Chains A and B, each alone.
Chain A
Amino acid sequence: MEEIRKKHFRSFAINFLLLAALYAIFLASFKSGILNNYYQGLICYMLINIMLTVSLNLTTGFLGQLPLGHAGFMAVGAYASGIFTKTVLLPPAVSLALALAISSLMAFACGIAIGVPALRLKGDYLAIITLGFGEIIRNVILNLKITGGTSYRGIPQHAGFTSIFWITAACVYIISALISSRHGRAILSIREDEIAAEACGINTTFYKLFAFSLSAAAAGAAGALYASYQTVLTPASFTYNQSIEMTIMVVLGGMGSITGSIASAAVLTLLPAFLSDLAKYRMLIYSILLIVIMIFKPAGLLGSREFSMRRLIAKLRRREAN
C-alpha cells in the first residue's frame, strides 16, 4: 500500500516539474520578446478559459447535469473582484488573494442560491433556470450604479501571467484531486444512477449542490483573474453565448475528461486567434465541429480518458525494451 502512495507522489512530482518547465518556457518567451504582449494576453485568456472549462466539466461531465449559466458565475466573480480591488487599496498580492477569496465565495453563494431550487429539476429545466440566472445577473450589472453600467473601468491590474498560470494549475489540481476522492466518487455515482447512488448511502441532494456550487466558485475565481488582468469589465462579455461556448469546450474535449477540457479550451481559444479570418465564422465552425464530433465521437475527443505522464513514460520504456 505504501507503494501506491509513492507512485502517486511520483506522478505528482512529474506533473509539477512539467508544469514548472512549461511556465519557465512561457516566461522566457515573454521576457525575450519571442512572444509579444498580444500573445501573452492570449495565453492568459486561454488559461482563464481552461479554468472555466475544467470547472464547468465538474457539473456537466462528472455530475451529469447541464447548466448554462457559467458566464453568470464568472460575472459575479469578476465584478466582485473588480469593485473590491478598485475601492479597497491594498498591496497587489494581498488585494488579489482577497479578491479571489471574495469572488469565489460570492459565486459559491450564488451557486447555492440557484442550485437549491434548480437542481431539483432535471435536464432542460436546469438549463433554462441557469440560463435565466446568467441573463438576470447581466441585467443587474447593466443597471446597478456600483457596477458602472455598460463598462466598469480602472480596475488595478493585479493579475499577470504568473498568478493566472499558477492559480489555473491549482484549480485544475483541486478538481482532479477531488474527483479521485470519496466525494468525487459520490458525484460520479449521481451521474451514473441517482437512485442507485442514494441506495448506496449517497445524499444526492447534498453532493449535487456541492459539485454545482464548487464549480460556480471556480468560475467566480476565474472571473476575478479576468477582471484583474483586463482592468475593464463590460456586461457584454458575460452573455449566454459565453456560457454556451464553455459548454461546447467541455463537450468537445470529452465530458468527464479534465485533460480533454484543457486541450479543447486551449485549442478553441488559440485557433480563432491564429486564423483571424476565421474569427468571424467562429460560432459556425464550433457548430460544425460539434456536429462532426457528435457523429463520430459522441463522448468527445477524449471521452473520459485522462493523460498521464507516468503512463506515457511507462509506455515509451516498454517500446524501447521491445
Chain B
Amino acid sequence: MPFLSVKNLGVSFGGLKAVDGFSLEMGKDELLGLIGPNGAGKTTVFNLLTGVYAPSQGSVSFNGKIISKLRTSAINDAGIARTFQNIRLFKNLSVMDNVRIALHGSMRYSPLTGILRLREYWEQEEETDRRAVEILEVFGLSDAKDEKASSLPYGRQRKLEIARALGSSPKLLLLDEPAAGMNHSETSELMDTISFVRKKFSVAILLIEHDMQLVMGICERIVVMDYGTVIASGSPEEIKSSKVVIAAYLGE
C-alpha cells in the first residue's frame, strides 16, 4: 500500500468544482511538487487532505489508514502537518509557544498533574522546551524564541510556520507556497532548509509553489493541476517540456 494514496478526490463550492477527480500517490520519502495556475485548486487539495474541508467524493488513505473522514486534529495525530498560504500563526503568543502548541500531542500529563505541577509536568515541559528550541535552531529562530510571533518579519514568520508544523513530528509535511514573498537569496536559503529538514526529520514533503526556481530545483517529481484535477506529472525536465502544462500556464 502506498504511503499516501488519494483517489478521485473532489469538492465543490456552490456550483464551482474546485477539486474534481484528483488522484495522487506518494512515497514515504518523496519530495513532491504540486504546481498549477492560480485557482487550479492546489490549496483546496491541502484543505481536503487535512480535513479543513470534507470531500464530497473520493478517499484519502495515509500510512495504511483511511483519513478522509477524520477531523483535522486527528489527521495531524495520524502524521500530517501543514503550513498555510496566508500565514496562520498564533500571533499574540511567543515564538516558543507556537512550537510548544504543536508539541501538545507529544505530552501526556493530565490537567490535574499540570495544575499541581507534579513531576511529570516538569519532565514533559522540559523535554518539550528542549525539542522546541532544537527545531527553532534549524530555522535560525532560537534567538527570537521569547518574542511575539507577530513581531517577526514576514520571512521569519514563514519559517516559524514550518517550524511549528514540524513540532507535531509529522511523517508528511504539506507546505503551501513557503517561498511566497521571499526574495531570490531567501528562496535559495529556504531550499537548503527544506532539503535539510527532509533528511533531519525524515519527513515526506508535498509542496505547492509558484517559484519555479525552487520547485524545479528541489523536487524529484512534480504534479501539475488545472481546473481541480491532475493534468500532468513527471520529472522537472518532463514537466518543463510538456505541451499540456505550457498550454495550461498560457491559459489556452
Contacts and interface: CB of A to CB of B under 8 A. Distances in A.
A235 B161 CA distance: 50
Contacts of A210: 111
A201 B114 contact: no
Contacts of A184: 114
A198 B115 contact: no
Contacts of A178: 111, 114-115
A184 B111 CA distance: 9
A188 B90 CA distance: 9
A197 interface: yes
Interface string A183-208: 11110110011011111111111000
B81 interface: yes
A205 B93 CA distance: 21
A187 B194 CA distance: 31
Given A185-B97, A192-B90, A196-B84, A201 B73 contact: yes
Interface stretch (B32-40, B57-65, B100-108): B100-108
B109 interface: yes
Interface in B55-92: 71-74, 76-77, 81-82, 84, 88-92
A185 B104 contact: yes
A192 B94 CA distance: 12
A27 B104 CA distance: 43
Interface in B229-244: none
B122 interface: yes
Interface string A304-315: 100000000000
A177 B73 contact: no
B interface majority secondary structure: helix
Chain B, interface size: which category? 35 or more
A199 B81 contact: yes
B52 A195 contact: yes
A interface majority secondary structure: helix
A245 B155 CA distance: 43
B115 A174 contact: yes
B89 A177 contact: no
B111 to A, nearest CB: 5
A319 interface: no
B115 A200 contact: no
A258 to B, nearest CB: 14
Given A178-B114, A183-B111, A200 B71 contact: no
A181 B93 contact: no
A5 interface: yes
Given A195-B88, A199-B81, A204 B115 contact: no
A182 B107 contact: yes
Would you list the 8 A-B pairs with minimal beta carbon distance, nearest first? A181-B114, A198-B72, A192-B90, A201-B76, A196-B88, A201-B105, A200-B102, A203-B73
Given A195-B72, A204-B73, 19 more contacts: A4-B126, A5-B122, A177-B115, A181-B114, A184-B114, A185-B93, A185-B101, A188-B101, A189-B101, A192-B93, A193-B89, A193-B90, A195-B52, A195-B88, A197-B90, A198-B72, A200-B73, A200-B167, A201-B77
14 contacts: A1-B122, A177-B116, A182-B104, A182-B107, A192-B90, A193-B90, A195-B84, A196-B84, A198-B71, A199-B52, A200-B81, A203-B71, A203-B74, A204-B73
Interface of B: 50-52, 71-74, 76-77, 81-82, 84, 88-93, 97, 100-102, 104-105, 107, 109, 111, 114-117, 121-122, 124-126, 128, 164-165, 167-168
